[in-house]
Amino acid sequence: MLRHRELHLILKCAEFSGCVVPCSPHTAGFNAPFHAARFHFVASGNHVQASHDTVAVTGYFQALRLFNRNVRIFILSALLLGFAFFGIYAVLLNLYLLRLGYGPTVVGLVNGMGFVAYAVFSLPAGALGARFGTRRMLQVGFVLAALGMGLLPAAQFLEGGAQVAWIAVTYTITSMGLDAYFVNSNPFMLQSTTPRERMYLYSLRVGMSPIAAFVGALVGGLLPGTLAGLLPVTDTASFALSLLVAAVALLIGVVALCNTTETATRVDDEEAPVRASRSSSGLPVLIIAMMGLVIMLRIASEGAQRTFFNVYLDEILAMPTAQIGLLAACGQLIGGFAALMTPYISRRWDLEPVIVWASLGMAVSTVAFALIPHWAGAAIGYAGLVSFTYIQRPCSLRHTMEVVPARWRETAAGVANMVAGIGWGTMGFAGGFFVSIYGYQSFFLISAGLTGISAVVFFWYFGLPRRKTPGEQRAGALH
pLDDT in tens, 409-430: 777 877 887 888 888 878 877 8
How confident is the model over 98-153, as pLDDT tens digits?
889 888 888 888 888 887 888 888 878 878 887 888 889 999 999 999 999 999 99
E runs forming strands in 287-328: none
Could you tell me the residue ranges of all domains in the chain?
A: 4-56, 60-462
Half-sphere exposure of 327 (CA within 13 A, CB side): 25
User: Which CATH architecture is the domain 60-462 placed in?
Assistant: Up-down Bundle (1.20)
Q: Is the per-residue pLDDT at 191 higher than 90?
A: no
How confident is the model over 206-256, as pLDDT tens digits?
777 778 888 888 898 889 988 888 888 888 899 999 999 999 999 999 999
What's the sign of the alpha-carbon dihedral 288, 289, 292, 298? Answer: negative
- Quote the radius of gyration of the chain (alpha carbons, Å): 24
Rounded Cα distance between 178 and 114, Å, is: 10
Answer for the pair 148, 177: CB distance below 8 angstroms, yes or no: yes
Answer for the pair 63, 197: CB distance below 8 angstroms, yes or no: yes
How confident is the model over 424-460, as pLDDT tens digits?
878 877 887 888 888 888 999 999 999 999 999 999 8
Bridge partners (DSSP) listed for residue 48: 43
How much is the pLDDT for 475?
A: 42
How confident is the model over 355-408, as pLDDT tens digits?
999 999 999 999 999 998 888 888 899 999 989 998 888 788 778 777 877 777
How much is the pLDDT for 5?
A: 47
Rounded Cα distance between 130 and 356, Å, is: 32
Give the pLDDT band of residue 326 (cuts 50, 70, 90). confident
CA angle 54, 55, 57 (to 5 degrees): 120
